[in-house]
Amino acid sequence: MKWIAVLGAIALSACSGPSEDEATYDRYLERIIAANNLRPLPTKPYEETPKFKLGQALFFDPILSGNRDISCATCHLVGAGLSDGLPASIGSGGVGLGTSRERPRDRPAQPRNSLDLWNRDNNSVKSMFWDGRAEVLDPVNRKFRTPLGDLLPEGFENLMAVQAIFPLTQADEMLGLPGDASPGGNPPAHAGLVNEIAASVVDLEEPYRTAAVLDHVVSRLIGTPDTPPSHWELEYRRLFEKAFPGTSPEEVSIVHVGNALAHFEEIAFATRDTPWDRYLEGDMTAIGLEAKRGAFLFFGRGRCAVCHGGPLFSDFEFHSIGARPFGAGYDGQGHDTGRFRVTRRPADKFKFRTPPLRNVTLTAPYFHNGSAKTLDEAIRQHADPLQYADKYAESGEPLLQIDEIDSVSPILLIRVELARREIDYLVAFLMALEDDGIDRLEGVVPLGVPSQLPIHSTSGAGDIRGH
């Protein structure tokens, strides 16, 4: 009898159809999918148009940085899921790449964890950055709110294009400091040059300083009418002309730079064909039983989808999950008031924009300050959002300030116990949101950039995974 039962079980599990348990989950999920109106993520076809090629050059070319030493790709590394593997990114002056990148002591600390760039053209993206400081006010008439206020030029095609101009203007990201010089090891045309962009704006107040930096960056790319163009200025003039036919070099502005960068990002950094999307298309075998259990928890009892809902698994609203102070923060003690820095509303203190979760498996460490090393740790923080409320820092001070404790989302204060295996199921579900991004992205790293400066892509980053 016993043997017959065992053989029966083997036969059942070996047959091609789902086991009864799995079929039950498929039925549960069918209802969840209908109730939440979940659909596969639409993506634009991959096409290397002239605008794509210009955006690609701009994304990888350190010529956009004050010291000619850092590009967008340095902190949004192809080999680290478009993040950089560090708790907080290290800007101009940093040495090395990925987890081995170091910040010399005289450089300002950039306080935040690098966000990834997957699918940020999606209509659900209402704001950019952990604190949402670049926002869409009116998508149809392309009205945006940013730290630049009225000085934000017209003509940006979308929020990603607007966002792209800000890293260029920050001393702790791409601008560097006045008095800096470009690395001596650069190719001769770029070695040991003063940071003329940072130096020329020292006397300006915001937002005029930012606006002036942006003008200088455009001159860096295409030159000025009174000096003979360098080899890269000629090349960029040609690329802008092809990407924006009918635009003469004199007409090129930071708006074209932003629009080209955004176009490249939207085509190159789309997640394509994840197991979860295939499951939504009706392929019941695209994800395994653990991921199905995880999906059931994610949309159900775990109530993750309350905040991580929508096509990118974010509501693009602001919440606090009680993440512990970590790293430098804005005050040097690891504290970061998040959304409050933008709105100045006390109710927004310590709140951060819900991070999207597609390809989240590739972008450890987690949270706005990189304080969670693994997905496991990140999920546990949600399950026990007050775990640091009664802990002390090395200084003897309470680890969390009173209003940090008060900020924690009421949604999470209703505790839901998650068993060890349930956290594993949730991680299995998050793994089903991963596409073959890293392998595919190797194909979008150009062989060279117009400046002929070295390209930062994967070397040194290794394969950084959060599970």
**Closest to 125 (Cα-Cα) out of 313, 337, 370, 347:** 313
In total, the chain counts a number of residues equal to 467
Q: Is the peptide bond before 187 cis (omega within 30 degrees of 0)?
A: no
Cα 343 from Cα 29, distance rounded (Å): 39
**Residue 321: Cβ-neighbour burial (10 angstroms; 0-12, 13-18, 19+):** buried
Please say which residue, 206 or 283, places its beta carbon nearer to ligand HEC.
206
Q: What is the CA radius of gyration of the chain?
A: 24
Whose tokens are 């006397």? That residue is 203
- Residue 282 Cβ, how far from ligand HEC at the closest point, in Å? 25
Please say which residue, 114 or 259, places its beta carbon nearer to ligand HEC.
114
- Residue 54 Cβ, how far from ligand HEC at the closest point, in Å? 13
Residue 114 phi/psi, 5° resolution?
-65, 125
Interface ranges with ligand HEC (CB under 6 A): 70, 72, 74-76, 89, 91, 110, 112, 114-115, 117, 120, 128-130, 160, 163-164, 167-168, 173-174, 261, 302-304, 306-308, 319, 321, 323, 352, 354-355, 360, 363, 366-368, 375, 378-379, 382, 409, 411-412, 426
Q: Are 416 and 383 in contact (CB under 8 A)?
A: yes
- Residue 141 Cβ, how far from ligand HEC at the closest point, in Å? 21
Side chain identity, residue 170: Q
Cα 99 from Cα 102, distance rounded (Å): 8
Structure token digits, residue 64: 């956009």
Please say which residue, 176 or 249, places its beta carbon nearer to ligand HEC.
176
- Residue 461 Cβ, how far from ligand HEC at the closest point, in Å? 13
Please say which residue, 245 or 347, places its beta carbon nearer to ligand HEC.
347
- Residue 134 Cβ, how far from ligand HEC at the closest point, in Å? 8
Please say which residue, 10 or 411, places its beta carbon nearer to ligand HEC.
411
Cα 412 from Cα 213, distance rounded (Å): 42
Q: Are 36 and 298 in contact (CB under 8 A)?
A: no
Cα 326 from Cα 320, distance rounded (Å): 15
Whose tokens are 């050059």? That residue is 57
Q: Say how many CA atoms lie within 13 Å of 185 toward its Cβ.
A: 3
- Residue 7 Cβ, how far from ligand HEC at the closest point, in Å? 39
Determine how many CB atoms are found less than 10 A away from the CB of residue 205. Answer: 7
Please say which residue, 194 or 306, places its beta carbon nearer to ligand HEC.
306
Q: Are 302 and 426 in contact (CB under 8 A)?
A: yes
Please say which residue, 13 or 347, places its beta carbon nearer to ligand HEC.
347
Cα 422 from Cα 332, distance rounded (Å): 36
Side chain identity, residue 284: M
- Residue 291 Cβ, how far from ligand HEC at the closest point, in Å? 13
- Residue 415 Cβ, how far from ligand HEC at the closest point, in Å? 11
Please say which residue, 14 or 302, places its beta carbon nearer to ligand HEC.
302
- Residue 9 Cβ, how far from ligand HEC at the closest point, in Å? 32
Please say which residue, 216 or 368, places its beta carbon nearer to ligand HEC.
368
Cα 72 from Cα 267, distance rounded (Å): 16
Please say which residue, 86 or 201, places its beta carbon nearer to ligand HEC.
86
Please say which residue, 244 or 388, places its beta carbon nearer to ligand HEC.
388
- Residue 306 Cβ, how far from ligand HEC at the closest point, in Å? 5
Please say which residue, 201 or 378, places its beta carbon nearer to ligand HEC.
378
Q: Is the peptide bond before 139 cis (omega within 30 degrees of 0)?
A: no
Cα 76 from Cα 437, distance rounded (Å): 13
Q: Say how many CA atoms lie within 13 Å of 170 toward its Cβ.
A: 21
- Residue 348 Cβ, how far from ligand HEC at the closest point, in Å? 12
**Closest to 240 (Cα-Cα) out of 255, 262, 226, 256:** 256
- Residue 115 Cβ, how far from ligand HEC at the closest point, in Å? 4
Cα 256 from Cα 156, distance rounded (Å): 8
Q: Are 62 and 55 in contact (CB under 8 A)?
A: no
